[in-house]
Chain A
Amino acid sequence: MAVENQCCCTQTNEAELYPELEKIIAEHQGKPEDLIMVLHKAQNLFGYLPRKVQEMVAEGLGVSLNEVYGVITFYAFFSTVPKGRHSVKVCLGTACYVRGGQRVIEKIKKELSLKVGGTTEDRRYSLDVVRCIGACGLSPAILVNDDVYGRVKITKLAEILERYE
């Protein structure tokens, strides 16, 4: 899922992506069982899953829009809002959780005024929770794009985030 962390410039070229989406859907036409796979591909393409994409997937695979949305909201991986230029992921695996991961989240939420799963208005950051990134020894850990930060101190968070324009 390499595309996920890259800039997807949704506002400028989203319309151009629809023919590509149509191609993906055509490969899975009338196959409700392929829903998760198609949503994966669609999210890679768009960076998120806007309503129109959901409707096209529903129509193409023969699934209700309500079911498509149910699957999207069940899996934390899927997003219905555009992702920011930089992805901030806070680990809430067991080790990070007991070492204050929740406090890290609260601080970022306050600092950037956004909620988990959301994106800042300037599309600079988006915030997600992940379960264990294999850095338990460094707990609490966060991931900004592909960079891991361990033993994160709440007082240092602003400084870390500033590095990502």
Chain B
Amino acid sequence: MINLTINGQNIQVEEGATILEAALKADIHIPTLCYLPEVQAIGACRVCLVEIEGNRNLQAACVFPASEGLVVHTNSERVRLARKFSVEMLLSNHPMECLTCARNLNCELQKIAEEMGIREVRFTGEKSEGYIDDFSPSIRRDQSKCILCRRCVTVCQEIQSVSAIFAQGRGFETKVEPAFDASLNDMACTFCGQCSLVCPVGAITEKEDIDEVWAALADPTKIVIAQDAPAVRAALGEEFGYPPGTLVTGKMLAAVRRLGFDRVFDTNFTADLTIIEEGNELLKRVKEGGVLPLITSCSPGWIKFIEHFYPTLLTHLSTCKSPHQMLGALVKTYYAEKAGINPKDMVVVSVMPCTAKKFECNRPEMNDSGYKDVDYVLTTRELAKMIRQAGIDFRNLEDDIYDDPLGEYTGAATIFGATGGVMEAALRTAYEVATGKTLENVDFTAVRGLEGIKEASVPIEGIGEVKVAVAHGLGNARKLMEKIKDGSADYHFIEIMACPGGCVSGGGQPIPVNNEIRRLRAEALYQEDRSLKYRKSHENPSIKRIYEEFLGTPLGEQSHHLLHTKYTARSRF
């Protein structure tokens, strides 16, 4: 242990701790901007400067190691002026568009400027050249707002192993962008949106579809149908002041209905359906000697990743569409017929924790109903904005429930939102379907939690040991792909989610996100799972009914047409 003094307070920390970590331990707040716990500490922004006795220069607390006997001041006149100077320099090259910015009231730069009491920016002069890249359906970049903190670069490169953006040029001309001044839309970007989660300002956000959805809701000729992904209910509350991990399913459904949606279905219904289809696909491949390991296909960021970086492994992917695309296709066929609505008058809006799903719903193959299966995708953040725009008092809403017949779901479906959830749901069903016996303990805890790659082996009578793996974050996915390529992956089934933590911390979720928040949101979903009457997908009565009334058998002709898809090999460049 190391002893040091910060602001006259004696503090003990482990060897290797930084001054920032030591201060945090003593509840001393040091402002930071480029620093991102668990991801990046580079001392670039000069906002966390502190004074260290015996050091001529001020030092960045996020990178300066604590050492024995150090005497640190975090609140001296010199420190305050230096920090203020750093922030004023940033502001001198920042468009002062706070009122019209997507991150208004949730911007780290704005917050720091306020904390430091900056009332004027003393420096004026040339500003960096700015432009807007909104060519992709998922991500919007406003280069003029970028403060070059490089959080997005680090997340994209080190966590996701994608490197779709990088610092280009040098000095005043530096821009964080793809090569050749290209749009993200033209590069090997997965649209996972993790960059938009870590951006401290409004330089990277989702591409909003709010106006389009309002227009559909206002159109009396349209029947507008919403569906909500499981991860949304575990995080939406944070936008309305609830602590992370508060489950707001009932209020969310009530709010969506008050926005004017004509029907509110649940993506969890088709999560259950995915388990039936994918489970049968797995059993078929195992029995008939098909391509193994089978890999899940629910995460569109992951799909675009494998299309760009491992196109030779596309045959490993399950052909199942992601659950919300299945639901879109069923709404405009099965439900349209049942309710006597012309599918051309239907507008399907998916509320997702995800930016990649905006790209996915625009893929040309997602028109199997004869119409665009899902018309718009809103992120959790966008839904929260619409709720605020509509003046809905979220906290005082009475709980509502989803509509039939595409709303009923099991606990197996709701845990899709956490890493390992799809695998756990699949194991619950695979076990019972393959053995005909009842599973006593449905909790497969080995596939839960935030470890990057999780492995498990489950004995299933009649099949033997079923070996599975779960990866979240594309860097971890890449490791598994390399194992498949070199032949050392002897798994039957792999679950991959593009975002670290799974959908609960997807690119469209409330900001901020860290491991503690990931854990709490996942726990909310496991809590919902435990509270539900049915916890295995094949027990869902509405699922049984849709096979009887419409789909026939799993992997049958109708399923093949509406619920399954194909993939596109893409270039790395």
Contact = CB atoms under 8 A, between A and B. Distances in A.
Contacts of A59: 572
A73 B573 CA distance: 18
Given A64-B166, A74-B169, A69 B572 contact: no
A108 interface: no
B170 interface: yes
Interface in B128-180: 157, 162-170, 178-180
Contact of B164 (A54, A55, A63, A66): A66
B163 A64 contact: yes
B163 A69 contact: no
Contacts of A55: 573
A70 interface: yes
A63 B163 CA distance: 9
B187 interface: yes
Contacts of B179: 54, 65-66, 68-70
A74 B162 contact: no
A70 B573 CA distance: 14
B133 to A, nearest CB: 14
Interface in A27-70: 51, 54-55, 58-59, 63-70
Which of A54, A59, A63, A67 is the most central at the interface, judged by chain B CB atoms within 10 Å of its CB?
Answer: A67
A64 B153 CA distance: 12
Contacts of A70: 166-168, 179
A63 B573 CA distance: 11
A67 B187 CA distance: 12
B164 A73 contact: no
A65 B169 contact: no
Contacts of B165: 66
Contacts of B187: 65-66
Interface residues of A, number: 15
A68 B167 CA distance: 10
B187 to A, nearest CB: 7
B166 A67 contact: yes
A65 B572 contact: yes
A154 to B, nearest CB: 25
Contact of B166 (A51, A54, A66): A66
Interface in A68-94: 68-70, 73-74
A66 B176 CA distance: 10
B572 to A, nearest CB: 7
Contacts of B572: 58-59, 65
Given A55-B573, A58-B573, A59-B572, A69 B162 contact: no
Contacts of B170: 73-74
B150 to A, nearest CB: 11
Contacts of B167: 70, 74
A66 B178 contact: yes
A102 B249 CA distance: 64
B505 to A, nearest CB: 23
Contacts of A66: 163-166, 168, 178-179, 187
A69 B157 contact: no
B485 to A, nearest CB: 13
Given A59-B572, A73-B170, A67 B157 contact: yes
A33 B167 CA distance: 17
A99 to B, nearest CB: 23
Contacts of A67: 157, 163, 166
Nearest to B167: A70
A65 B168 contact: no
Contacts of B157: 64, 67
B169 to A, nearest CB: 5
A2 B157 CA distance: 35
B162 A73 contact: no
Interface string B236-280: 000000000000000000000000000000000000000000000
A70 B178 CA distance: 9
Interface string B420-434: 000000000000000
A55 B180 CA distance: 12
Contacts of A51: 180
A52 to B, nearest CB: 10
Nearest to B175: A73
A69 B166 contact: yes
B573 to A, nearest CB: 5
Interface string B466-506: 00000000000000000000000000000000000000000
B413 to A, nearest CB: 36
Nearest to B163: A64
Contacts of A69: 166, 168, 179-180
Nearest to A59: B572
Nearest to A52: B573
A54 B180 CA distance: 11
A26 B572 CA distance: 19
A80 to B, nearest CB: 8
B478 to A, nearest CB: 11
A74 B179 CA distance: 12
Given A65-B187, A66-B165, A70-B166, 10 more contacts: A55-B573, A64-B166, A65-B188, A66-B164, A66-B178, A66-B187, A69-B166, A74-B167, A74-B168, A74-B170
Interface of A: 51, 54-55, 58-59, 63-70, 73-74
8 contacts: A65-B179, A66-B163, A66-B165, A66-B166, A67-B163, A68-B179, A69-B168, A73-B170
The 9 A-B residue pairs with the shortest CB-CB distance, nearest first, are A64-B163, A69-B179, A70-B166, A66-B166, A73-B169, A66-B179, A73-B168, A74-B170, A67-B166
